[in-house]
Structure 1
Amino acid sequence: MPNGNTKLRVSLIASVFVIIYGSGFVGGRYGLPYAEPFYYLAIRFGMTAVILLALIVCFRIRWPRSGYRHLVISGILLQGVFSAGVFYALDQGMTPAVSALIIALQPLLVWLMVSVVTARKVRPLSVIALVGGLLGVAITVYQGLASSSGLTPTNVAFGVLGLVGLSTGQFYYQVKNPGTHLLINGFVQSGSSAVVMLVGALIFEKGVIRWTSQLVLSELWMSVGVSIGALSLLFVLMRSESADRVASYFYGVPIAAGLIAWPALGQRPTGAEIAGFAVIVVSILVFNRSSQEPDTGRGPSGPPVDKSVPVTERP
């Protein structure tokens, strides 16, 4: 079982990750009025790749001989498909809080993937916690259906696409465990995603970009803060925690997105959203509590470490 210092370290990393990652939903909405989604994302990922390449060269990090295919596939899913789905949902009028709430369904999908692959015993308390998180999501989304949250079949479909990309990308990464340096991870994944986004932009969009201060600030924050900062923390969590425990932290992303959108975009959380946030917080605590194991050589998600797909190489 992890000691107190390790638990505190993981909790701090997870908390900072949730705050920065949640800000991405607001940052994206802040810059989208000035660029079409695919072009916006191509610029974001391109900037990220250039910055990371400069850091790799500066610190003389050795390039791995293999693992690039897994990084490209996981990167396109985890960053490209996810971001395209979310940003098109935002572009179509969905609020950052509701978009984040749809993405908060990720823990349920990842938990199902882990349970199927590892064939582990299902814990009733874990199920209750995940259903509780789903209930928290449903409370807020239901309120949004009757309010000005801008929910339509189109933007909900894009939101679900982002959810599937994020869930499968995270799970694929932890299954294949490329084990490369964090900067190499980010460069390959961001670079491949930038190429895919540029192709999408050339095919589906008109190339309308207005270089305003809002767009520049949004791109800088999404590139440095989210793509480099938050995703680096996510990779650290994925190397030290099981897939379903990492996914459970995403239940906290809607809270961060909703609270940040309040002062930044003037979108004040409703009473139902606050109630949903409270249910989500309790669900995260209960799920992480239920997934703890006694110190018997078993991983944090249940199966033995050497046989469990979700537990990857320690940093």
Structure 2
Amino acid sequence: MTLYRIAPALFVVLWSTGWIVAKYASPYADPLTFLSLRFTLAAILFAVITLVSRATWPSTRSGWAHAVFSGVLLHGIYLAGIWWAIDQGVPSSVSGLIAALQPLMTALAAPYIVGERLTGPQKLGVFLGFVGLAVAILPRLLTLDAATLQIALVPLLVNVIGMISVTAGTLYQKRHLQEGDLRAIATLQYVGGFLVVMPLALLYEPMQIDWTLEFVLAMGWSVFGLSLVSIMLLLYLIRRGQVSRAASLTYLVPPAVAVESWFLFSEKLTLPMIAGTLIVVIGVWLTNRKTRLVA
């Protein structure tokens, strides 16, 4: 079994644990402070890997700039926006629904930015993925009280900006970073993410960390499981396949989080969540299956 075949499923499982880690880590550090340390450690780790393996760094200034800027979009603005918005009161279910728009936006923008055009079945797959997420999440939204639904406009807008940023970052990665060693690129991308979150943390947070075992474990998994393995898988998928196909995998993340939360925290797994998951699986299969692309 090749890496290309197992990479999508492995990416979904690993990436979905980011929501679980956030739940464990939130009592021990503010979101931007946590991300600042995570990006610092991830950049150091990738730099060491790059140097030890004698990987090639970008040979031009534009190559360095493209890598850093893609990190600003993929890591910095995206995660800072999502984490800060949730910390300011945006329900995770609403945040997940906003994030679900990313594959749809990617598929719609890809023909104009990177020249990718989806076939009819692939377009249907993108649509079904969105419908499946709506089936899974909307019933939970309808149970929220009026006070919870009255979300502040600024946090909601920041959440949307985060989703737009990761969409733009995925397309930017596909267009400008098709060549070059992924280890060196990932190092520079975490530098880009750090350049976003660290100044914001200094401005808006006390920068205090409660160094408990839970925090250390959450940080360790965030760096090694998420920032190292998951991001390398994502970059690999973007480079090897269509950008819209790679983005469609994010449809599976919220249902995967629901299953993990049910297993780890005994959270109720509802019938709409199960039905929505089945629809999502069909949609992702249609979007990712090998078909002849429209010229």
Kindly state the Cα deviation for residue 90 of structure 1 after the two structures are TM-superposed.
3.5
Question: Could you tell me how far 1:244 is from its partner in structure 2?
Answer: 1.0
The runs of 5 or more residues in structure 1 that have no matched partner are 294-300, 304-315
TM-align CA RMSD: 2.4
SS in 1 for 2:244: helix
Q: Kindly indicate whether the alpha-carbon contact (under 8 Å) linking 1:38 and 1:201 is maintained by their aligned counterparts in 2.
A: yes
8 Å CA contact 1:13–1:237 kept in 2: the answer is yes
Contact 1:97 1:261 in 2 (8 A): no
Cα deviation, residue 41, structure 1: 0.4
Change (3 A) 1:203 1:39: same
Contact 2:118 2:294 in 1 (8 A): no
Q: Distance in 1 between matches of 2:150 and 2:208?
A: 24
CA-to-aligned-CA distance 1:17-66 (integer Å, 9 cap, x gap):
11101111211222122111111100100010111112222222232212
Flag the structure with more relative contact order, 1 or 2, with Cα contacts below 8 A and sequence separation at least 6. 2
Against the structure 1 CA distance between its residues 210 and 147, is the aligned structure 2 distance closer, same or farther, given a 3 Å change threshold? Answer: farther
SS at match of 2:26: helix
Structure-1 residue corresponding to 2:12: 18
**Equivalent residues in 2 for 1:32-71 (5 A)?**
32-66=26-60, 67-71=63-67
Count of residue pairs the alignment pairs up = 289
Determine the structure 1 residue equivalent to 2:281: 281
Which shifted more, 113-122 or 196-205? 113-122
CA offsets per residue over residues 92-139 of structure 1, 9 Å max, x none?
455666644432322111111112336776644333222211111212
Q: Does 1:106 align with 2:94?
A: no
Instruction: Note the 1:157-172 alignment, pairs <5 A.
Output: 157-172=157-172
Q: Report whether the alignment pairs 1:82 with 2:81.
A: no
Q: CA deviation at 1:257?
A: 1.6
More helix by share: 2
Q: Is the partner of 1:179 in helix, strand or coil?
A: coil
Q: Against the structure 1 CA distance between its residues 39 and 152, is the aligned structure 2 distance closer, same or farther, given a 3 Å change threshold?
A: farther
Partners in 1 of 2:4 and 2:250 — Cα distance?
14
Taking only the aligned residue pairs, the percentage that are identical comes to: 28
| TM-score scaled by length of structure 2 | 0.88
The answer to which of 195-204 and 229-238 deviates more is 195-204
TM-score by length of 1: 0.83
CA distance in 2, matches of 1:121, 1:227: 30
Alignment of 1:160-309 (within 5 A): 160-177=160-177, 179-289=179-289, 292-293=291-292, 301-303=293-295
One-letter amino acid matched to 1:153 = I
Q: Which residue of 1 aligns with 2:131?
A: 135
Q: How far does the alpha carbon of each residue in 1:278-308 deviate from its partner, in whole angstroms, 9 at most, with x for none?
A: 111111112234x611xxxxxxx433xxxxx
Answer whether contact 2:258 2:269 (CA < 8 A) is retained: yes
